[in-house]
Chains A and B, each alone.
Chain A
Amino acid sequence: MDGRSVSAPPAAQTSRTPGAAFILKKALISAFVALVLFSLMIGVRTEAGPQGQLVYWTRFDDLAIMVAAVFGGSILVELLRRWWGPVDTVRVVPPSVQSALSLAGRLVAPVLLVFTFLVPVLFYNERYILDLAILVLTYVMLGWGLNVVVGLAGLLDLGYVAFYAVGAYSYALLATNFGLSFWICLPLAGILAAFWGVLLGFPVLRLRGDYLAIVTLAFGEIIRLVLINWQTLTGGPNGVTGIPRPTLFGIPLTPADDGLAALLGIEFSPTHRIVFLFYIILALALLTNWVTIRLRRLPLGRAWEALREDEVACRALGINTTTTKLTAFATGALFGGLAGAFFATRQGFISPESFTFHESALVLAIVVLGGMGSQLGVALAALAMIGGFELFRGLDQYRMLVFGMAMVLLMIWRPRGLVGHRAPTVFLKRSQTISSDLVKEGHG
């Protein structure tokens, strides 16, 4: 904070009340920069011709549209900024609104939970919404799992998708090679992923901050590359197909004579299985949440949070940072593995393509947008990110472009996440919410 007041240039004083000339000048500069940036990349289009030789053609109309859009956008942003006022202004909220907001805040979680339980009832006939809900819940679970590592223990993990992959492949390979059922493989997948978490934890014990980031990123890439190249075991880029579906106490959800529908004497519908999967992932996600909340009250969870706040002080107080870090990695990986096993059984088919760095970045974005350590925030952020991502499905190739822009804009708008505060785990006399500005992020 002190840095901001010092390094703020004097120009900021005048820019608080920008005149029309200033706005126009800024827009013109932006448009000129855009013209240079886009001149070759958009103004000229290259493509490999029929003889393999490169040809190009010009697209000056597109270029003009883009530059005009930047010009207009710049004016719009400047006007919005003028209307909104300086960023640092503290807005005083009247106490009545504050209490209403806090009441609403306390009600959000139970209402959301009840609504989630009712989703299959409300949208029984809408297959698309059910599928989307399962997807959102998978990411909620991944977000809560990564939250243990990043949000609680403050260890930056850019390779979380590796554990997701380990869980998915563990189930897929155990089920297709040995015919083990989903309910036996689920804990096995979790344990295997936790084991890999410890394996990753060992080399990174002494690393801090960005060294940790690159090692976890490299670890994620190593797992993916091995999955692609170890063709005899994993099927390489073709992946594993024919992964069996989960059963209800050994009763398959199929139209066969021994299927659940036949036993209950009702007509078979494929929606039964979707609803079943929905409740499995809901149970898994709630398990993650419950375990995390319980762990936070144990000495272990407190050690994680102490580690996040200050590693040196932690060691001085006699906390074993080695086991603290390893358990954080193992716990996070365990949940990632469980989510992975669920992903495999839901899809029925997995390939290394599902486990790219993009997934890690998405889950990390969910955790950070969720406010680093807030359980409700992570759930809301997962809903917003995955739901928003689905909204742009029609945009096809522009989807990732919009996604990236949204990530940048959200970070600029709310760098501390959508839910900016959370309840403390330990308190002296009465519980107060802490602004997330006061929660430290990990330095490894």
Chain B
Amino acid sequence: MDYFAQQLINGLVLGSIYGLIAIGYTMVYGIVGMINFAHGDIFMIGGFIALITFLILVSFGLTAIPLILLIVLLVSMAITALYGWTVERIAYRPLRHSFRLAPMLSAIGMSFVLTNYSQVAQGARVKPVPPIITGGYTLHEGAEGFVVQLSNIQIIVVVTTIVLLALFTWLVSSTRLGRDMRACEQDQTMASLLGVDVDRTISMTFVIGAALAAVAGMMYLLYYGLVDFFMGFVAGIKAFTAAVLGGIGSLPGAMLGGLLIGLIETLWSAYFSVEYKDVAAFSILIVVLIFLPTGLLGRPEVEKV
């Protein structure tokens, strides 16, 4: 039971990171209707920028951990958001009204570009960082000496996710930008006739998605203590799986899907085999889609002739 509780905590933390990335996928899908394949690599870039900022701050003699974390968070969100904006501007905007496969292939190409750009710029080797946030709480001490622990970093990851989600829900439901986004999602032509700047709204969607991915990248760096140039691919596929599992286009769905994928992965590694954890996650995706073809919370698509 204690073992299970511990795995539950680990799974929720991992799921929060996936959920943050999945929101970027689902948002872009909702508005532009395309799979942003480069989003996983945006997450990886976010991790790298967090790492470099952290290194520079430490070498300048800054020691106050909360201050460092805040600066790292802001810098990495800002620069990664600019990456998201640039990717949309270069690779997707010219193909906005093209046929459906064109932006997807362009996105796959962009993903290759970003992966190899960071490999060339920062080298192929894994970059480890020493644990920055240590300590934690013992929740429960079992009879056999097994302890259920909740580390500080886990608390930070979950709390950050909850805060960002609340902020993001507020943004989508109660601000001008959120209203524009929802309008564009329903009908871009109509929205533009009613005075919504479609191009700007789509750009902002990419910027927000990238900023959330940057937070996920930083959390990943803090939690696992390493980044490498290839981490975007696997994390990206998992997060996209999460978005589809929850029903692509649905924001609560993305978070739910993220948590589910995180839990499945952790529990499968804990009770069955570590090697097949990804196979388990993908298989469950396929099984869920057989019975619910639009995901858990997705709206059924209206078929039109």
Known contacts: A365-B108, A405-B109. The answer to whether A33 contacts B123 by CB under 8 A is no
Q: Which one of A1, A210, A372, A404 contacts B116 once the chains associate, using CB atoms below 8 Å? A: A404
Enumerate chain A interface residues (CB-CB to B < 8 A). Answer: 1-4, 6-7, 9, 33, 36-37, 39-42, 44-48, 52-54, 56, 150, 156, 203-204, 206-211, 213-215, 217-219, 221-222, 225-226, 228-229, 310-313, 316, 357-358, 361, 364-365, 368, 372, 397-398, 400-401, 403-408, 411-412, 415-416, 437, 441, 443
B106 touching A6, Cβ below 8 Å: no
B49 touching A213, Cβ below 8 Å: no
B91 touching A408, Cβ below 8 Å: yes
Q: Which residues of B contact A407 (CB under 8 A)?
A: 105-106, 108-109, 112
Q: Which residues of B contact A4 (CB under 8 A)?
A: 96-97
Assembly CA distance A416 to B105 (angstroms): 12
B276 at the interface (CB under 8 A from A): yes
A400 touching B112, Cβ below 8 Å: yes
B131 at the interface (CB under 8 A from A): no
B189 touching A40, Cβ below 8 Å: no
B128 touching A6, Cβ below 8 Å: no
A1 touching B97, Cβ below 8 Å: yes
Q: Which residues of A contact B122 (CB under 8 A)?
A: 41, 45-46
The residue on A at minimum CB distance from B80 is A37
B86 touching A37, Cβ below 8 Å: yes
Determine, out of B2-10, B52-60, B151-159, the stretch whose residues face the partner at the interface. Answer: B52-60
Q: Which one of A39, A215, A365 contacts B105 once the chains associate, using CB atoms below 8 Å? A: A365
In the A-B complex, the 8 residue pairs with the smallest Cβ-Cβ separation, listed nearest first, are A407-B109, A404-B112, A404-B113, A415-B102, A218-B282, A411-B106, A229-B275, A415-B98
The residue on A at minimum CB distance from B295 is A211
Chain B 75-113: CB-based contact to A (< 8 A → 1; otherwise 0): 100010011001000110011111111111110111111
B144 at the interface (CB under 8 A from A): no
A46 touching B128, Cβ below 8 Å: no
A411 touching B86, Cβ below 8 Å: no
13 A–B pairs (Cβ distance < 8 Å), ordered by A: A3-B96, A46-B52, A47-B125, A48-B127, A56-B59, A206-B290, A210-B35, A214-B240, A219-B282, A316-B305, A365-B109, A404-B110, A408-B109
Give the secondary structure class of B's interface.
helix
Q: In the assembled complex, how far is the CB of residue A29 from the closest CB belonging to chain B, in whole angstroms?
A: 11
B289 touching A215, Cβ below 8 Å: yes
A218 touching B95, Cβ below 8 Å: no
B256 at the interface (CB under 8 A from A): no
B286 touching A56, Cβ below 8 Å: no
A6 touching B241, Cβ below 8 Å: no
Q: Which one of B86, B276, B290, B305 contacts A203 once the chains associate, using CB atoms below 8 Å? A: B290
Q: Which one of B55, B301, B305 contacts A310 once the chains associate, using CB atoms below 8 Å? A: B305
Q: In the assembled complex, how far is the CB of residue A56 from the closest CB belonging to chain B, in whole angstroms?
A: 5
B126 at the interface (CB under 8 A from A): yes
The residue on A at minimum CB distance from B118 is A41
Q: In the assembled complex, how far is the CB of residue A393 from the closest CB belonging to chain B, in whole angstroms?
A: 15
Q: Which residues of A contact B237 (CB under 8 A)?
A: 217-218, 221
B263 at the interface (CB under 8 A from A): no
Q: Which residues of A contact B110 (CB under 8 A)?
A: 404, 408
A404 touching B111, Cβ below 8 Å: yes
Chain B 187-216: CB-based contact to A (< 8 A → 1; otherwise 0): 011001100001100000000000000000
Q: In the assembled complex, how far is the CB of residue B199 from the closest CB belonging to chain A, in whole angstroms?
A: 7
Assembly CA distance A386 to B52 (angstroms): 36
Taking each of A37, A42, A408, which has the highest tally of chain B beta carbons within 10 Å of its own beta carbon?
Answer: A408
Q: In the assembled complex, how far is the CB of residue A73 from the closest CB belonging to chain B, in whole angstroms?
A: 11
A229 touching B241, Cβ below 8 Å: no
B248 at the interface (CB under 8 A from A): yes
B62 at the interface (CB under 8 A from A): no
B121 touching A214, Cβ below 8 Å: no
Q: Which residues of B contact A42 (CB under 8 A)?
A: 121
The residue on A at minimum CB distance from B286 is A203
B233 at the interface (CB under 8 A from A): yes
B105 touching A441, Cβ below 8 Å: no
B244 at the interface (CB under 8 A from A): yes
